[in-house]
Structure 1
């Protein structure tokens, strides 16, 4: 598929939230996967805010070893936090010349092999839900045109999340409070990956793919599949289809 086709497909995916089985974890995971592919970034992560300035990361649920090393610091300083606080994109920057306020983040990120970092906010009008962090381990930063497209993806994702809330007819609490449940779901998924990887003797990445594919195939929430994997060590059985008593009658 061409790059233009992938971009168009991504916008369709980000609009597909008005369904009863909408899964916020899978939705944000797909956003990071599309960014890695389309923008040729080494890693991408979504961070959300709850409450106030506190940040947590619900996606990806299968971070690379390098990304795992910097996510904790990315929640406390650096481009992801700045994009959230200012509700403005943070342009691609060389981590070897990062602002003093990013000192710990830049040191950790460079130690993990990253060379450039930028971020865009997840925003709609006056409300900002979090940000999308993009990291590169190359000799060039993310082009500004790609940063603008990443902002368009982030805006579409924010609208999709708000539409998902509307579908549930939720009138109380902020969007961030509702999305806070994604943190618990992410923890479940991380635990389930370990259980399933050991049970099936596969890598953590393959274990996550098994969880996600099973959830999508059978119309289940990713967190539901993860909880079952924790409880039993394996994937849940598919939901039983409707039973028709007439099927049990002996043939004449």
Structure 2
């Protein structure tokens, strides 16, 4: 990653742990996206309760670009990324084939390529982050990872918009530490029952969590509870 990417991600992350509002922080976040991938326009779109995409923020308010985002609410790369839960990239020629109206708006705005990545919460797609370039962009695997990181931060911004008091934060810290204690207890159980080192016991715990589709803490609680009751631990296939 370049220094610009590191700085932009650091700024976006820092904004989430201080005083912020969704609109202002989202606008700053799209600026970070543009600096990171040398884009021209960036926007964040969310699906409303009617199943229609709406613009949360975009990096420009020129008439041509507002027309572009209005078109994206009907169909195009954002809708495809959202409904397909996948990264969508296209050149202007490809856009003409797949989304003619969006392509015409891109041409009018002087744009030559686009990428959209899904916004997810608990693996459920809820919208998309979209970036446009003036020329033909080669969206690399690193670019996709950066865009997805910003999309994930954007989703955190929206979901955790309410201010959490210092007292509530302290309570959550205590809960996190309690979770760590139960994980250590579960490691001890696994180490004893399966004759493992503590390091390998942790690896075994992660394996059990992966195959059971449960969180690490939930699996640890089950292991400790079952050991106390003389039962069996979750199995890894």
Q: 1:78 aligns with which of 76, 98, 101?
A: 76
* Cα displacement string for residues 12-32 of structure 1 (whole angstroms, at most 9, x for unaligned residues): 33333244x421001110111
Shift of 1:136: 0.9
Partner of 1:133: 130
Aligned counterparts of 1:131 and 1:51: Cα–Cα separation in 2 = 15
Shift of 1:166: 7.4
Cα pair 1:89 1:121 within 8 Å, conserved = yes
| Structure 2 gaps, min length 5 | 166-237
SS at match of 2:83: helix
Partner of 1:248: none
Partner of 1:28: 26
* Cα displacement string for residues 91-146 of structure 1 (whole angstroms, at most 9, x for unaligned residues): x2112123644121112212321111110111132333311111111143433421
Q: Per the alignment, do residues 161 and 9 of structure 1 end up closer, same or farther by CA in structure 2, a change over 3 Å counting?
A: farther
Aligned counterparts of 1:66 and 1:114: Cα–Cα separation in 2 = 11
Shift of 1:165: 4.2
Q: Per the alignment, do residues 64 and 32 of structure 1 end up closer, same or farther by CA in structure 2, a change over 3 Å counting?
A: farther
Cα pair 2:64 2:105 within 8 Å, conserved = no
Partner of 2:158: 161
Partner of 1:17: 16
Q: Which aligned runs of 4 or more in structure 1 are off by greater than 4 angstroms?
A: none
Q: Does 1:8 align with 2:6?
A: yes
TM-score, normalised by the number of residues in structure 1: 0.58
Q: Per the alignment, do residues 89 and 34 of structure 1 end up closer, same or farther by CA in structure 2, a change over 3 Å counting?
A: same
Aligned counterparts of 2:11 and 2:109: Cα–Cα separation in 1 = 31
Aligned counterparts of 2:62 and 2:3: Cα–Cα separation in 1 = 26
Shift of 1:79: 0.6
SS at match of 1:98: helix
Aligned counterparts of 1:13 and 1:80: Cα–Cα separation in 2 = 25
User: Relative contact order: is structure 1 or structure 2 higher (C-alpha 8 Å, sep ≥ 6)?
Assistant: 1
Cα pair 2:91 2:136 within 8 Å, conserved = no
How many residues align? The count is 164
SS at match of 2:28: helix
Cα pair 2:96 2:104 within 8 Å, conserved = no
Q: Per the alignment, do residues 139 and 7 of structure 1 end up closer, same or farther by CA in structure 2, a change over 3 Å counting?
A: closer
Shift of 1:7: 2.3
Shift of 1:51: 1.3
Aligned counterparts of 1:166 and 1:121: Cα–Cα separation in 2 = 25
| Structure 1 gaps, min length 5 | 169-252
Aligned counterparts of 2:36 and 2:65: Cα–Cα separation in 1 = 18
* Alignment map for 1:66-145 (pairs within 5 Å): 66-90=64-88, 92-98=89-95, 100-145=97-142
